[in-house]
Structure 1
Amino acid sequence: MDTPEEPLEIAKGVYWVGVIDWNLRDFHGYETPRGGTYNAYLIVDEKITLIDTVKASFADEMIERISRIVDPAKIDYIVANHVEMDHSSALPRILEVAPNARIFATERGKTGLNEYYAESGCSGWNFETVKTGDELNTGKRTLMFIEAVMLHWPDSMQTYLKEDNILFSNDAFGQHIATSKRFDDQVEDVMEDAAIYFANILTPFSSRILKHLETVGKLGLQIDMIAPSHGVIWRSDPQRIIDAYAKWASGASEQKVLVIYDSMWGSTEMMAKAIAEGVRASGTDVGLFHLRKNDWSMLIKELMECRVFALGCPTMHNGMFFTMGGFLTYLKGLRPKDKKVSFFGSYGWGGGAIRQMEEALKNTKMEFVEDPYKVKFRPEKQDLEGCRQLGIKLGEIARS
């Protein structure tokens, strides 16, 4: 069995030489309880090509892995699909051992790398800029470059190995999983991880994704394998993750309602449970999530797949509870499509939470449905019945 310490040949002369970050638990605010990987790929041909690098702290591990295949000093070309540090920050180190390598990047990629590594001697790096359709011959193989602007940075691109029908997709089609397995058919729940990844990383760029998929379709590429920069490689049926991206990017959703809340002394929680009961009574699927007891990254994935959600929190210091404020800031930045939202909450001597929740989302394209439901102090029987009726209405909206 292959171990994570060994490079892995994924096609004849094409190797995974990335690293596994077993202890990754936070990726710029996106929780990663299963760890992650930084994938890099080596193509051994007349010209030896490295596609992407890894996070700087893992640079020597990547170089050691490459050295088990070839002398790293013999690397001729480095393809920099993306400037972000988890893929590029090992560049200075690899160029110490392969100083004559030429770097291929988009024009924005070259600019970004020069800005990031101005103090690392990048002025002496040998760049060649490329655009969609440009090709690079490595001997018996041909690489074609495909710009992927704003998937998810302006500099992003993908690289297609024509003879082997492999798409090196960079951040698209990835997942955050730490595993010694390298392929999708070896890992359970990989589509779930891919959905969580999409929801938290790529949702804001959904319209761009649809256009990019159209561009790739027009190129007429046969894709037998997709090798992303995070997670496992898609080999069993690459079309299924392409189709999933088209579905997620289009905003397709299920007949489901989420009730997302936080509570101080239990009043808002009582309301949340009554709303969820109303949704169930309407015959609609429902999810009930406490903000301090659930992974926000998972919540975003659940929210991507539902049609309607309700947000509830108590008033604190004349405004919304701090966890709701943080969650809405995170949610607003992701800009989910075609969502309907309702608000509820409890208060004591003064309100304000619902007003602030509405204010936080008013400039999004989310549709506010049903009047907000407010309760002073602890909800009584009639208040809980009102919450239940709200849940029934939200369930009906989700099915309409």
Structure 2
Amino acid sequence: MMRILVLANFGMGLYNFRKELLEKLIEQNHEVYISLPNDQEYVPKLERLGCKFINTPVSRRGTNPITDFRLLLNYKKMIRNIKPDVVLTYTIKPNIYGGLACRLANVSYLVNITGLGTAVENGGLLQKITLLLYKASLKRAKCVFFQNSGNMNFLTKQKVIKGNYKVLPGSGVNLNHYALLDYPSDNTTINFLFISRVMKEKGIDQYLDAASHIKKKYPNTAFHIIGFCEDAYEEKLMEMQEKGIIKYHGKQSDVREFHKISHCTIHPTYYPEGMSNVLLESAACGRPIITTNRNGCKEIIDEGINGYIVEQKNSQDLIGKIEKFLDLDYEAKREMGIAGREKVENEFDRQIIINEYLNVIRKQAKENYND
């Protein structure tokens, strides 16, 4: 039995994308501690799995050095008290400050780069500081897992990382939970889905541009939006919904109900993705996908086979690919969805990620035993 500490920045991501790994670790009689901010929805679910919860405030997008230094001290104290055999870290701040705390305490740790974040993406001084912090925090990691090769190539080119590292197929997808769905037989209305937080970097402006144009030209289309809406877009969404251009459904606990009626998922993001779970889940359900030509999205697309790639921030290119999709007959659309399902079965099964983690943890257990 090992004592395993998991550092993350929010419960939803840990539960939705790491639940199966946590279940397996607990099944193998490991003692699993989870450190993340408290919430009323996902922490109780994680505790029911058998995880021991440690409430840890994490400012996910803040850049206050005092707050971040406090997080580092929290991690140091936590590691000193728990004395974990291995620490698993996810997302930027747990990766950096958790990694530094592990390095200072001489504790083994595994890092998962779930995306480089806007600080690195936008360049400038903040990028330099972030890369220096990454270099210090990753130096003694037992293994650094990347979710796409673009992120890996960038950090190795910047000489941030030198040790043991490898690319995983994102967080993978639970193929049983996201089962292949029948393609909608009702072709009177072609339904498109946007599933994401409604924010600029997720490509909502391009989606709304496309919806406005396509709806005029093809009245038998419907553009659905699912996800939490940032304040800046609330008024615009309500206005476009009143005009019948879009249908906004807010945040939903189970998007599979919307995949049942959907013909295609559109994800025009230019946010620094690790690997898009929206696309993996949509493809697993047998839905064609249209997304941007960037790391974490393009890997899931075989152009013209299971979907289309568009240039980021390019509404006209998106409109063109939507029209191309609309020109397909029913059977071609359905086959495109099936091709997506086959791709995720072959390349993105979550069990691949679980096996990789278990292998590394097993090796660590042997090292601990030999010591």
Report the TM-score when normalising by structure 1: 0.28
More strand by share: 1
Larger radius of gyration: 1
- The structure whose RCO (Cα within 8 Å, separation 6+) is larger is 2
More helix by share: 2
